[in-house]
Amino acid sequence: MSVSDLPAGPPAGLPALHQSDLPLPLLSRGKVRDVYEAGPDMLLMVASDRVSAFDVVLPQPVPGKGEVLTQITAWWLSRLQETQDHHLISVMPEEILKRIPELAATREQWERRSMLVKRTEPVLVECVVRGYITGSAWKEYRTQGTLAGESLPDGLQESQRLDPPIFSPATKAQEGEHDENITFQQTVEILGSDLAYELQRRSLEIYSAGAEAAEARGIILADTKFEFGVDSGGELILIDEVLTPDSSRFWPREHYQVGRGQPSLDKQPIRDYLDGLPDWNKKPPPPDLPEAVVNASRDRYLEIFRRLTGTELASYVPPRFG
């Protein structure tokens, strides 16, 4: 993609957070999230505005991205909580401050971009559900007719709907590495039969609910990934981000057409720009992003938030939990 092909758009006016620095023990700093210990049984997950592509963190953040990821997750979990146990305690700044008063001096770093959550033992398999064949699944199918080595029907086209959706687990990659699709049988070998089948059941159930809600708003949920953890009581619960533009592919229904790639409501302008660079090998160090590419990606994040919730991000009031 040429930068000149992008709409100029408004300047990236929202304050951007590349990295937080809070008065809590830092547990981990991932591609997007900074995770802090918040007591013996809680974590504070701060969604920065860092952006990655091809599993490489890029130099420029996308302003507002972390807030979108946090608030969309809260919006989905408020819709799912009657059927799905999850780790979210609160995204409300006042409730977080009540529990962790030492955060008062750094409120501008974490407000509206943070989730206070129950601490769990994560299940080390990512639970991917594919409702349409695209991305890495399409690349493998196009050359081998398989997904993670397992056969798929002949004659599928790019972006075609998969009926029923496919549970397609993956190993969780370390930073700078790529997730690896694995078979369901490999998942059983890693986790045991009972847990593997429960993850499959719950992932397909959540995908179905998400796809139905998105469809009502003119959006196709092409695929998504979920993460689960085991809490202190031994219960399997939904953790991390849920049905966000970083963990899912959302396609505008009005542009959908089988047989080609689809415009996605996510960081696609960044991927397209980087794909068009002749001299970057998709490994660190990454190139700088032009302002127009950053702004175009920001606009996509704001659009998916607005289309899903029916509300502008700046005026959105998050739900309360508990």
* 159 in any annotated domain: yes
With 60 as the cut, is the pLDDT of residue 280 above it? yes
Residue 140 and residue 236 in one domain: yes
Residues 241-268, mean pLDDT to the nearest whole number: 97
* Confidence tier at 173 by pLDDT (50, 70, 90): low
* Confidence tier at 55 by pLDDT (50, 70, 90): confident
pLDDT at 10: 38
pLDDT at 177: 58
**Do residues 182 and 169 make contact, with C-beta atoms less than 8 angstroms apart?**
yes
The whole-angstrom separation of Cα 81 and Cα 298 is: 29
Bigger pLDDT: 238 vs 8:
238
Domain range enclosing 25: 3-120+298-315
* 218 in any annotated domain: yes
* 285 in any annotated domain: no
Residue 100 and residue 130 in one domain: no
With 50 as the cut, is the pLDDT of residue 6 above it? no
* 219 in any annotated domain: yes
* 186 in any annotated domain: yes
Between CA 223 and CA 46, with CA 280 as vertex, the angle to 5 degrees is: 50
Residues 177-202, mean pLDDT to the nearest whole number: 92
Output the DSSP codes for 82-102: TT--B-EEE--HHHHHHH-GG
Ramachandran area for residue 177 (φ above 0: left; ψ -120 to 50: alpha; else beta)? beta
Residue 109 and residue 158 in one domain: no
Residues 259-267, mean pLDDT to the nearest whole number: 96
Task: Look at residue 11 and give its three-state secondary structure.
Answer: coil
* 272 in any annotated domain: no
DSSP for residue 152: -
Residue 130 and residue 198 in one domain: yes
CATH number at residue 233: 3.30.470.20
With 70 as the cut, is the pLDDT of residue 293 above it? yes
What pTM was estimated for this model as a whole?
0.93
* 309 in any annotated domain: yes
Which tens digits make up the pLDDT trace of 61-116?
Answer: 999 999 999 999 999 999 999 999 999 999 999 999 999 999 999 999 999 999 99
The whole-angstrom separation of Cα 38 and Cα 24 is: 7
* Confidence tier at 174 by pLDDT (50, 70, 90): low
Nearest C-alpha neighbor of 228 from the set 128, 80, 122: 122
Residue 129 and residue 69 in one domain: no
Q: How many structural domains is the chain composed of?
A: 2
Residues 29-50, mean pLDDT to the nearest whole number: 96
Residue 182 and residue 75 in one domain: no
